């Protein structure tokens, strides 16, 4: 077994370990009360490759699965990805791999296949349908308010009505997408781009409403419903964007720009007071009010 210890500096040993801490944190907060929440006594294991298919063979991922001996019939959810306001992001900052999304409101799980998305009823663990895609998406994001699916690949977004599973429209962007964030209060979708910008989609009309300049190589982030701010993960810092005005209102420095460790995933706690961000092999705990890291968790042999 590996153990977690709190440190103030030093080398960053294992990237996967930090990602799994955050994955466990997000899973416990987003799935509370849902039919497929993790229960006491569940045994977890890790596999070296998710489905051993072409999209993941070149860059192996790990899968967390519930041991059927201790939790019979439990749902197996995804490679080492993080659940974030209905969206799931990979910890290698790429949106071109196996993608999934969860809508906790309808208790549905959506998984990408070959030019299709399968729909799983998490309360019965049964596949209940398939949604034909215009193209095979590399990432998915769900609007929990309107029950719409945003399927992404390259610089294109396809929008689907999940009430009817019908295609609605295509949203073309000028730059490839590196990550996505959902604002449930203002019904906005944010798409980050490698060139340091972020497109803002107005979910009411599904059109680009603004383009914001953030930091270096942004890749997704998290929306905080408590302060209604968007926290965009750049390489070494976090841009804070007002969820209403789309303006930059602050920056949180996480590590030195010369560091090889980069921000890859984040989630916010239930009260909105702390953000947990994976940076290399570390889990940075950020105080939202103070706008600075307050502690760091890292994995070490033990």
β-strand partners of 4: 299
> Measured between alpha carbons, how far is 177 from 197 in angstroms, rounded to an integer?
10
Residue pLDDT, tens place only, 31-62: 333 333 333 444 444 444 444 444 444 444 44
Token reading at 167: 């295609």
Tokens of 92: 């290698």
Distance between CA atoms of residues 198 and 194, nearest Å: 9
How far is it, in rounded angstroms, from Cα 123 to Cα 107?
A: 7
Please report the pLDDT score of residue 93 as a whole number. 36
**pLDDT in the model for residue 140:** 95
Q: What is the pTM of this model?
A: 0.69
The residue range of the domain holding 111 is 2-301
pLDDT confidence of residue 257: 79
Residue 71 has pLDDT above 50, yes or no: no
- Model confidence at 190: pLDDT above 50: yes
Q: How far is CA 143 from CA 103, 126, 193, in A?
A: 8, 22, 20
Which pLDDT does position 11 carry in this prediction?
33
Distance CA 139, CA 97 (A): 7
pLDDT digits (tens, 9 = 90+) for 260-281: 889 999 999 999 999 999 998 8
111, pLDDT greater than 90: yes
pLDDT (average), residues 194-209: 97
Domain count for the chain = 1
CATH number, position 99: 2.130.10.10
């Amino acid at each position: 077994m590996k153990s977690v210890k709190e440190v103030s500096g030093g080398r960053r040993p294992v990237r996967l370990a930090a990602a799994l801490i955050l994955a466990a944190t997000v899973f416990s907060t987003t799935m509370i009360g849902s039919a497929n929440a993790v229960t006491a006594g569940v045994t977890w294991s890790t596999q070296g490759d998710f489905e051993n298919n072409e999209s993941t063979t070149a860059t192996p991922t790990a899968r967390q699965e519930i041991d059927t001996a201790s939790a019979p019939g439990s749902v197996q959810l995804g490679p080492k990805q993080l659940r974030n306001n209905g969206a799931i992001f990979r910890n290698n900052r790429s949106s071109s791999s196996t993608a999934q999304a969860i809508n906790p409101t309808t208790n549905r799980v959506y998984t990408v296949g070959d030019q299709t998305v399968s729909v799983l009823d998490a309360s019965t663990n049964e596949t209940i349908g398939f949604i034909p895609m215009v193209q095979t998406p590399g990432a998915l994001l769900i609007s929990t308010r309107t029950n719409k699916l945003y399927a992404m690949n390259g610089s294109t977004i396809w929008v689907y009505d999940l009430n009817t599973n019908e295609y609605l429209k295509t949203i073309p962007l000028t730059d490839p997408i590196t990550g996505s964030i959902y604002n449930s209060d203002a019904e906005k979708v944010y798409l980050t781009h490698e060139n340091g910008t972020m497109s803002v989609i107005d979910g009411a009309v599904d059109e680009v409403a603004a383009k914001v300049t953030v930091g270096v190589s942004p890749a997704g982030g998290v929306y905080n419903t408590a302060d209604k701010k968007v926290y965009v993960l750049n390489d070494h810092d976090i841009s804070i964007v007002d969820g209403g005005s789309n303006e930059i209102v602050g920056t949180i420095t996480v590590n030195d720009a010369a560091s090889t460790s980069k921000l890859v995933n984040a989630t916010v706690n239930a009260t909105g007071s702390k953000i947990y961000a994976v940076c290399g092999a570390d889990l940075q705990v950020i105080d939202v009010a103070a706008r600075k890291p307050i502690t760091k968790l890292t994995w070490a042999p033990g």
